[in-house]
Amino acid sequence: MCGIIGILGRGDVAPYLVDGLGRLEYRGYDSAGMAVMEDGAIAVLRTVGTVERLAAMYRGSPVSGAAGLAHTRWATHGGVSDRNAHPHVSCGGEAAVIHNGIIENHAELREELSSKGHAFKSETDTEVAVHLLEEALAAGKGPLEAGMDVARRLRGQYALVFLMRGHPDVILAMRKNAPLLVGLGKGESIVASDALAFIDRTNRVVFLEDDTLALVARDGVRVYGFLGQERPVVVTDLAQELTLPDKHDHEHFTIKEIREQPEAVERVVSQVPGSMTIFRRELEKAKRVFFVAAGTSYHAALLAKRYFSDHMKLYGEVILASEYRGSEQWFDDGAVVVCISQSGETMDVLEAARSAKGRGATVLSMVNRSPSSLEMLSDAVVKLNVGPEVGVAATKSFTAQVVLFYALARGGASEEEVAELKGAMEAALAQEQEIIGVAELVAKGRDVYFLGRGVSYPMALEGALKMKELAYLHAEGLAAGELKHGPLALVDSGTPLVLLNPEDETYAETMSNGAEVKSRGGMVIGFSTAPSPTYDRFVRIPPVRAEFYPVVEAVPLQLLAYHVARLLDKSIDKPRNLAKSVTVK
């Protein structure tokens, strides 16, 4: 996580740093900071809280200069405080650093550097990097050699960007398993963790590879391996489809993204058939198939397993990315590992993908954000094509993943299927008033349970995840049949329980589970295609073919979590403690 941006420009870059940083805030919003080379010294502004707070601070006491860095933090080491906010500055103010990642050997380096007289001002793992650089610069090394010294000493994952007082016309950047790219503009260069930070200024991009250092100058960039060997610089023209997101008339990005799902599912199946064909061909050849993902993407993976099993007669194992090690011995040259990630930057997923590649497996990936680290290390990629998802809670990317997996498993989706889905999602969105009524009940409680069977089971998990992250309510998603094996003991008078109960093959059994809850005083909220006396509250799900129910159920589940969060006045687009892109372990 953490968003980083560094710029070397012609005029004052400070306003642009604040602006670009705002577009990276999805990566973390515990604190924000910036450093600018001002009259031969490094001036720093830092604050806990949002980029808007940093912007207000900047307006109150402006700094200015033609080179600078900015950072938005998702705290890992050291609490959320002003002094732990980046940039961090060396003892004598020779250099400043911003960082995304984790420096694993920070404790031993801190001890060593402290014993040499370095005074640490923060509790972060990051600060060791700037003191290491200071040591190398003090020994008379230039930016490249000094950077190589730092890289040699650090263990972990990092994207690091340094500003150096003695070298005002260069920014030093280095990358190891964390995203970092350089945008080449007219007389200016920008280094950032995401092209979104600079896409309004240039679409000419150099993707830095892992284990490389970059010397960024106004007129270009030179790239080196950690041992100093110069690497060729490849400039890519990014498609202008990387547009800057806008909420338009919606109160939050999250509700905008929920509402645009009917159009999104249509876009997702208008894929270039080529990439779908490669995907299917690799899967057909596979001896073993693994689906690897985290969070909401993991729920999509559970459905993918079902679709591929039903339509391609493929057996696959679904693995939580953070738990891939238990299965990696099977990632051999007969295996296909399908990695699913909206951002394409989730560290746990990237690690599993690297392990799979290293063991000879074929890595296929499904991403939304592009370009991304995941697609760069994959053998084939399919893209969701649903545009930027800004809300931290995954919404349209989830339904797009599910629809794309359905299309992949079936070898495409017909116009009739797309129309059926789109119509049903629109009908589900039209239930918003009814859902607000249910949200008022749920918001009064402390817990809420979600129950589903078959294809609705992953949706019970997804409904609970949405409720946790948006409304901060305790929520559990359960396989309906598991209720009687323990969780039923939790049901008390008035406990709300969302019963996902479309009229598919699971209907009667799930209804019995609802009745078990009702007879113990629980409040059964039926999300179903038909009303029933078992339900205390009813939200209508439009009838569709059985395999589409997850996509259609997603809509009221998302709306419910959204409206509970809204009633409880939570920070909807940026829930506390979370970040959109989870680039640490």
Task: Kindly list the catalytic residues.
Answer: 2, 580
Output 35 or 318, the one with its CB closest to ligand M6R.
318
Output 44 or 363, the one with its CB closest to ligand M6R.
363
Using the rule CB under 6 A, which residue among 31, 126, 346, 365 binds ligand M6R?
Answer: 346
Distance between CA atoms of residues 378 and 354, nearest Å: 9
With CA atoms as reference, report the closest residue to 369 among 354, 353, 386, 393.
386
Output 394 or 499, the one with its CB closest to ligand M6R.
394
**By CB under 6 A, is residue 343 in contact with ligand M6R?**
yes
Interacting span for ligand M6R (CB under 6 A) from 193-201, 240-248, 294-302, 503-511: 294-302
CB of 223 to ligand M6R, least distance (A): 27
CB of 296 to ligand M6R, least distance (A): 3
Output 206 or 498, the one with its CB closest to ligand M6R.
498
Interacting span for ligand M6R (CB under 6 A) from 57-65, 113-121, 136-144, 290-298: 290-298
| DSSP string covering 395-441 | -HHHHHHHHHHHHHHHTS--HHHHHHHHHHHHHHHTTHHHHHHHHHH
CB of 585 to ligand M6R, least distance (A): 12
**By CB under 6 A, is residue 349 in contact with ligand M6R?**
yes
CB of 294 to ligand M6R, least distance (A): 4
Output 343 or 495, the one with its CB closest to ligand M6R.
343
User: Do residues 382 and 272 lie in contact, with contact meaning Cβ atoms separated by under 8 Å?
Assistant: no
Spell out a b/e string for 541-562, using b for 16 or more CB atoms within 10 Å of the CB, else e.
bbbbeebbbbbbbbbbbbbbbb
- What is the footprint of ligand M6R within residues 415-474 (CB under 6 A)? 465, 469
Q: Residue written as tokens 């009702």?
A: 518
CB of 345 to ligand M6R, least distance (A): 7
Q: Check residue 540 and report its DSSP letter.
A: E
- What is the footprint of ligand M6R within residues 25-44 (CB under 6 A)? none
Output 6 or 344, the one with its CB closest to ligand M6R.
344
**By CB under 6 A, is residue 296 in contact with ligand M6R?**
yes
**By CB under 6 A, is residue 536 in contact with ligand M6R?**
no
The CB density around residue 354, as the number of other CB atoms within 10 Å, is: 15
User: Do residues 399 and 265 lie in contact, with contact meaning Cβ atoms separated by under 8 Å?
Assistant: yes
Estimate the share of the chain in helix, then strand, then coil, as percent rounded to the nearest 5. Answer: 40, 25, 35
Output 132 or 304, the one with its CB closest to ligand M6R.
304
Q: Which residues face 383 on adjacent strands?
A: 367
Q: Check residue 584 and report its DSSP letter.
A: -
Output 90 or 343, the one with its CB closest to ligand M6R.
343
Handedness of CA 278, 287, 454, 488 (dihedral sign): negative
**By CB under 6 A, is residue 295 in contact with ligand M6R?**
yes
Backbone angles phi, psi at 564, to 5 degrees: -65, -45
* Angle of CA points 492, 494, 495, to nearest 5°: 60
CB of 458 to ligand M6R, least distance (A): 13
**By CB under 6 A, is residue 544 in contact with ligand M6R?**
no
* Angle of CA points 230, 369, 2, to nearest 5°: 70
**By CB under 6 A, is residue 499 in contact with ligand M6R?**
no
Interacting span for ligand M6R (CB under 6 A) from 109-117, 251-259, 390-398, 521-529: 390-398
| DSSP string covering 233-258 | ---EE--TT-PPP--TT-S-HHHHHH
Using the rule CB under 6 A, which residue among 36, 44, 181, 582 binds ligand M6R?
Answer: 582
Q: Which residue is nearest to ligand M6R (CB)?
A: 295
**By CB under 6 A, is residue 254 in contact with ligand M6R?**
no
Distance between CA atoms of residues 146 and 144, nearest Å: 5
Q: Residue written as tokens 């690897």?
A: 292
CB of 460 to ligand M6R, least distance (A): 15
Output 294 or 421, the one with its CB closest to ligand M6R.
294
Using the rule CB under 6 A, which residue among 50, 72, 189, 341 binds ligand M6R?
Answer: 341
Count residues contacting ligand M6R (CB under 6 A)?
15
**By CB under 6 A, is residue 294 in contact with ligand M6R?**
yes
Distance between CA atoms of residues 182 and 192, nearest Å: 6
**By CB under 6 A, is residue 184 in contact with ligand M6R?**
no
CB of 265 to ligand M6R, least distance (A): 17
- Is it true that the peptide bond before 371 is cis, omega within 30 degrees of 0? yes
Interacting span for ligand M6R (CB under 6 A) from 63-71, 230-238, 295-303, 410-418: 295-303
Residues near 497 by beta carbon (within 8 Å), at least 6 away in sequence: 448, 449, 450, 451, 491, 514, 517, 522, 523, 524, 525
With CA atoms as reference, report the closest residue to 373 among 397, 349, 398.
349
Interacting span for ligand M6R (CB under 6 A) from 70-78, 274-282, 340-348, 547-555: 340-348
The CB density around residue 62, as the number of other CB atoms within 10 Å, is: 14
Q: Which residues bind ligand M6R (CB under 6 A)?
A: 294-297, 341-343, 346, 349, 392-394, 465, 469, 582
